Structure 1
Amino acid sequence: MKIGIISDLHIDNNNRRLQHDYKYAPMLSQMLEARDLDLLLIAGDISSDYKLSQDFLKELQDLSGKSTFFVPGNHEFWQSPESSTGAHDIFNYFLKQDENLVGQVRHLNEEWALVGSPGWYDYGYGNHEKFSIEDFERRKYRFAHWNDKRFVDWRQSDQEVSRWMKEQLIEDLESVKDKKIILMTHIATHPRFVVPLPHKLYDYVNAFLGARSYESLYQDYNVQYNVMGHVHWQQALTSQRVKHMMACLGNRKQWVNRFDPKTEIENTLMSFHID
């Protein structure tokens, strides 16, 4: 089975770079076919509108005929401050969707299982010599401002949400602990996938890029592939038998080919094989 991975498409923000009648779902569908992929994993942040993201998933599967599985990213939980829809409402919406992995382990075959969660940042990758937990909880420091403060309302602290997400993952992982596991989260769960410190900006911002407390999951369980998103770059490395992979398209201002989304998607999309 050949499995593709991608994340952080941000189709709402990146639409301006599309020419003529191009759309992201048809472009990605053509690439899945060209690369002969059997399955696609999307590690969150399709857009900043949860219904637009779900519509994209449906359109992509209808066009490609390929199964696609997804975990929401932090942007899927965004709502205007005036909205009556909270992050837990959106989380529960995704629980009802077939493409969502949260609480819905997928048995790919007799040997392999797919487990996923958005995950949530726990401040673990921030610079704790320079900043306190209270500093991170403010989600604002001088020129650095984390927009989840304005647009995501869990009615819980970030660390509480991170623990809750981890508990759900552990429950799902326990249910397939006798199998080889593909683990997918939106946030980073490995220190090599955040920005090396010290750094003027990321001493602070790294706190919101991943969850250090999740690192134990791929040691406690038979995780063979660890798929992540959120950090807006592409990287892969193998460490202690686990292949860690991140394939983020990111925002167009971060692209090498700023006026060529097709090439950017082609260069971002990664794949791997399982038996």
Structure 2
Amino acid sequence: MKRAQENPFELSIMILTRNRKNEVLRAIQSCVECCLPEKTEFVIVDNASEDGTQQDVERFLLSHSCTWQYHYLPENIGCAAGRNVGLRISRGRFVFFLDDDAYIEGPKESFFQDMIRVMRQHDDIFCITTSLFDTKLNHARPFAPSRFHHSGEFYRVLMFHGGSSMIDKEKWLDPNRLFFDYQFRGMAELYPTLKGYFHGRYVVEMPSVRVIHDPSPNAFFSQRMQILYHYSGAVHVKLTFYPGITHPIVYGMFVLRIWKYLGRKGVSEAFEKLSNINKNLAPETVSLKQFLRLLSEFGLVNVF
């Protein structure tokens, strides 16, 4: 591994991967094609790949004179915990998370600098999420926008995409954890978004910075499992923060959504998933006033 300098980096580009050698090389290629800050490092966290990913990635980074850390995990610990590892070992103030099956579209000359500039100019923005076009869906993934907070360059959103976003570590509340380690999959980004929101630190989307998500055929979960993880994970995070008076509505919306996509049988499966994840529940309950502010800004359907 090429040793990084001891002084802090401006940017860490963090990519989590597992058995997607070709995809992760494409992701890294799209980064090196951009105009990078002088002090940039790559942080690759490998969730126990078995396809020779490390050798090919390090060969590529060496050939492009990059500075990097390659952290190989002996077992697959999931997206959330894997990204937390990347956050902990990254040495840049700004950490850009990129999925291994995504790549930067542009603008290549200012992709990273545009996000860094906005976060330096706005003390209350801790995370910027990019526009994300999904080739499988054939459209950009939607984000729930604020009703009030828009500018010509960005707008506040309720959640970011974990595989296409930049974090300012100096503004985040915990340098060692962004996500729940135990949340193997499913709406992990909602926890830092809400935690930041209730502490006056926000997530915005910048439509001008664009990433393409080209879902790998090497998928780790069926669509059914993705739905179960998605909605049970979201409810778990909401129960962490929302006042108790709102919990019946949270559960009611949970049942309706699962029934819509998976039918009656899916509801019992979903509650089993939720019961397992709720064993880790550690409430950080906010006041009703704080919650009503969130509700006013993003609306009932998005908040519940």
Larger radius of gyration: 2
TM-score between both structures, scaled by the size of structure 1:
0.26
The structure with the greater share of residues assigned to strand is: 2
TM-score between both structures, scaled by the size of structure 2:
0.25
